[in-house]
Amino acid sequence: MRILIFSLLTAFLLAGCNETSAPCDPRAQQRVHDLYERLLQLRDKGVMVGHQDDLMYGHAWEYEEGRSDILEVCGSYPAVIGWDLGGLELGDSCNLDGVPFGKMREAIVKADAMGCVITLSWHMRNPVTGGSSWDLSGSNVVREVLPGGAAHELYKEWTDKCIAFLKSLKDAEGNPIPVVYRPYHENTGGAFWWGALSCEPEDYISLWKWTVEYMYACGVHNLLYAYSTDIFKSEQEYMLRYPGDEWVDIMGWDAYHRPQEWDFLEGMTRMARTVSTIAAEHGKLAALTETGLESVHMDKWWTEYLLPSVRGYGLSWVLIWRNSQDMPEHFFAPFKGHKSEQDFRDMVSEEDILVLNDIN
């Protein structure tokens, strides 16, 4: 019955909308087209479950070959895995969470070979102040990194480092691995130097377009581009920084459950409805690009909160944030022995909730 309702809702949402047909990059490589096609097919099957840094570390462990908190809880790796490039811009050997870029590359190659969808974000430093991505000092940083701005040359060098990393991701046949690239995330929020508190919408859009064009100019054609806001109040707010259909493949949003701050269920179902409707109108895929309840202190969070927030909207995936290896309270997915373990299994045992075993 639930599946029927899910299918009907999805069919309703997609009816009369622009056909989602191809990646926005006119020169996207074959594997990107294949990924896109696969995402379209899987969207009819259900919502994929993703986890940030899943193969690198988990709650109280790190860098153990084959290990994954999600695997240990439900018997399958997640279908989607996220990594973050923060730190790459400085030439650091490890990212901001201590992940060596060499190990990250190896794990991406492995995840791709296993059939996972790969997504990358970038908590890059503030190129004007040298502070972290959360450093909001330095006025108009986005304008300064655009052509003509004081930090443009430096920013180009940073982007070159990202490009070198992207180009180093090759499968066993030597083809570039397709990646869902999700830059400048949570743009309606105030946390980052590219966020709503720190730049004008037109500057954000210029930065997005410059980035995509620079990727093309440097011969990067292995990406799907994901646009993601933070929590938002309206369609207008969601679209304020949207660069346009020819620059984006996936429309997403990030939203964390902070019980003191907002009504998660009410807000999530509203946002899921809005994003999936807009995405369908624009012929784009949709996803919940980051979420979680830190420390998962509700035993049934998965079936009572996450499941109703993602099911039935035609979302391609939900990415659960990381399980820190060294901050015991900073985890968003269950691990072996955690009290929400059974509930997580109940969620992923639903036919329309997909882990890696369900999509291969």
Residues forming contacts to ligand BMA in the complex (CB under 6 A) are: 84, 86, 96-97, 123, 322
- The minimum distance between CB 262 and ligand BMA, in angstroms, equals 17
Between 97 and 230, name the residue whose CB sits nearer to ligand BMA.
97
Between 96 and 177, name the residue whose CB sits nearer to ligand BMA.
96
d(CA 322, CA 102): 19
Between 17 and 94, name the residue whose CB sits nearer to ligand BMA.
94
d(CA 209, CA 203): 10
- The minimum distance between CB 302 and ligand BMA, in angstroms, equals 20
d(CA 76, CA 60): 20
CA angle 308, 309, 314 (to 5 degrees): 100
Residues 229, 254: contact at Cβ < 8 Å?
A: yes
> How many CB atoms neighbour CB 320 within 10 A?
28
- The minimum distance between CB 173 and ligand BMA, in angstroms, equals 31
Identify the three-state secondary structure at position 225.
Answer: strand
Residue that has been written with the tokens 């479950």 in this structure: 49
Four-residue CA torsion sign, 245, 246, 251, 253: negative
Between 86 and 312, name the residue whose CB sits nearer to ligand BMA.
86
The secondary element (H helix, E strand) that includes residue 348 is helix 341-348
Nearest to 189 by CA among 202, 180, 179, 199: 199
| Token pair of 217 as six digits | 């100019």
Between 159 and 291, name the residue whose CB sits nearer to ligand BMA.
291
Please give the distance of CA 36 from its chain centroid, rounded to a whole number: 15
Between 194 and 242, name the residue whose CB sits nearer to ligand BMA.
194
- The minimum distance between CB 97 and ligand BMA, in angstroms, equals 5
- The minimum distance between CB 218 and ligand BMA, in angstroms, equals 25
d(CA 123, CA 38): 28
Strand ranges (DSSP E) for 69-131? 80-84, 117-121
β-pairing, 47-52 vs 57-58, is unpaired
Between 96 and 212, name the residue whose CB sits nearer to ligand BMA.
96
- The minimum distance between CB 358 and ligand BMA, in angstroms, equals 27
- The minimum distance between CB 194 and ligand BMA, in angstroms, equals 15
Between 97 and 203, name the residue whose CB sits nearer to ligand BMA.
97
Between 210 and 256, name the residue whose CB sits nearer to ligand BMA.
256
List C-alpha distances in Å: 11 to 14, 66, 163, 313.
Answer: 5, 38, 38, 9
- The minimum distance between CB 86 and ligand BMA, in angstroms, equals 6
- The minimum distance between CB 10 and ligand BMA, in angstroms, equals 30
